[in-house]
Structure 1
Amino acid sequence: MKATTGDRIVTASGVVGGAVREGVIVEVMGVDGAPPYRVRWSDTAEETICHPGPDSVVRPEEPGEAAGAPRPPSQVRSQTWHVQLTLVESGGSTVAEATLVGGSPDQLRAVGHARKDPGDDAVPLIGDEVAAGRALHRLAERLMEAAEHDITAQTGHPAHVHR
């Protein structure tokens, strides 16, 4: 991440349902535009040292804009999606169902199975982990397929999303 004085920074909340913060970079403290940055936050006008992570985006200062001049609020869209895992274990076999709640118009579901080798000790946690991992992997594949379908529908051209 690189920035210059006057650029805007937008940071998502680190907690579910938290506010998105936006501020102006008033000082670049790293080398060649790298963090940390001194930021004046628009919601409180306080200045703090910021070490932005992957939940932050730097928006360059627009041409002709005075550094720190008011700017319309960001067009930031925030959603929360939940994945529900249901696990059932019986007789050395585990079935996991992963359901994506929110996001897609249709709930996406996927199932994963795990079976204990007859010679292994019974450790239900391992079966849970394997079945849940397989269900989540299949759910991720279904989500990528849904994205490809939606891109194809939007553009009219076959789409492939790299995995």
Structure 2
Amino acid sequence: MLAFVIRSFLFATSVVEGASMYPTLENGERVIFNKAVYLVSEPDRGDIVIIQRPTKNYVKRVIGLPNDTIEIRDHVLYINGEPDEQLYLGEEEIQATADYGPVDVPPENYFVMGDNRSISKDSRNGLGFIEESEIIGRSEIVIYPFHEFGWTR
């Protein structure tokens, strides 16, 4: 019974499919995600979230919050007109980020991108804006493969 409660309401696992979150997360890694965190708070910029869609779940990084303006120009991400450092990305991923926007994130929606900008299906090209209700948790820990064990930030 305790395992059912934990899996249903607190934590669950998800498998990363594809390379859209590389180098942060790699294809085949299994992560534990926190299902309860957004019951008491809202997704924050930089969170790696699990997005539930009817046919598939996606793992992406929150870039834009409700009412933000997002623009990518000359490989620089601008949020509300200010450049964002994207410390979680290497120079190669930053240089692979193509021009986009500007777009305004609607209320109660989020703008997400994969860390592997050149191949990611995300808010720029297929997923669109993500409704708050579609975000089912925040990725916390890589648990498999064992040599990759650690926090997902």
Q: Normalization by structure 2: what TM-score?
A: 0.22
Higher strand share: 2
Higher helix share: 1
Q: Normalization by structure 1: what TM-score?
A: 0.21
Greater C-alpha Rg? 1
